[in-house]
Amino acid sequence: MNIKKQIKLDIISMKPYYTLKNLIILSGISLIYSFINESPVVMLSMTLTFAAMFSSTSFLLGENSGIDALYKIFSIDSKKVVIGRYILAGLIFIVVSLLGFSIYAIVSLIKNMPIGLDMLMYLGMNFVLFGIIISFQYPMFFKSGYTKAKTFWFLPILIIAIIGMILGYFIKDFDPILNFVLENQRMIIVGLFILVVVFLAVSIILSIKFYKKRDF
């Protein structure tokens, strides 16, 4: 089985959980949340949480349905399974981001608010944070399985939130930081891209190592 077929199998197993009804409910909640806030940009930050939640679904269903065990029984290359799950996570992030942007655009038009370039900044930061989150989560899932590791799946998000609150408490004036970011955009973008690539590379290597040793 190649990576493409494995991704399709994961998507098929996830399909019953992503119905039109669930999509409408999710979109409705997101719309309401965007309207009650001063700026619809907050919707883009919600996509990060949704993407992180949905990216763990393949592990939950793979464990409950026995698909992961079948991969091992039929001696499917562990490396392909791991890479396929990471690619699937990227696809989930893209789909959720498109949904988030669509809701952001709708709310912006209804509220007669301009769609600014800050949207791209938020999407870029979401990508960086999402990459870091799954870099921590996936090795745990591949090592212990979803059931045992689910207690810790939210840990990376919690750590990022705590760091954000600490910075917000101690840093009262963000203008110097904002100015530095604006003056060094290219350097920061390249630096963050390299950081995410390094995190993902290490994460994939660890995931392959853990998954090969895992017993079902």
pLDDT tens digits along 160-176 = 667 767 766 666 655 67
What is the token pair recorded at 161?
């939130």
List the end-to-end C-alpha distance of the chain, in Å, as a whole number: 19
Stronger pLDDT, 172 or 124, i.e. the higher one: 124
* In contact, 45 and 120? CB cutoff 8 Å: no
Query: How many Å apart are CA 13 and CA 43, to the nearest integer?
Result: 28
- What distance in Å separates the CA atoms of residue 125 and residue 134, rounded to the nearest whole number? 14
- Rounded to 10°, the helix 78-110/42-55 angle is 160
CB 107 within 8 A of CB 43: yes
Number of helices (H) and strands (E) in the chain: give both, helices first. Answer: 11, 0
Q: How far apart are CA 87 and CA 64, in angstroms?
A: 21
The 10 Å Cβ neighbour count of residue 51 is 25
- Number of neighbours of residue 114 by Cβ within 10 angstroms: 6
Could you tell me the residue range of the domain that residue 94 belongs to? Answer: 3-213
Single pTM value for the model: 0.81
Tokens representing 22?
């669930």
Residue 40 has pLDDT above 60, yes or no: no
User: Which amino acid is it at 90?
Assistant: G
Spacing of C-alpha 112 from chain mean position: 30
Instruction: Estimate to the nearest angstrom the gap between the alpha carbon of 82 and the chain centroid.
Output: 16
The total of structural domains in the chain comes to: 1
Q: Indicate whether 77 pLDDT > 60.
A: yes
Average pLDDT, the chain: 79
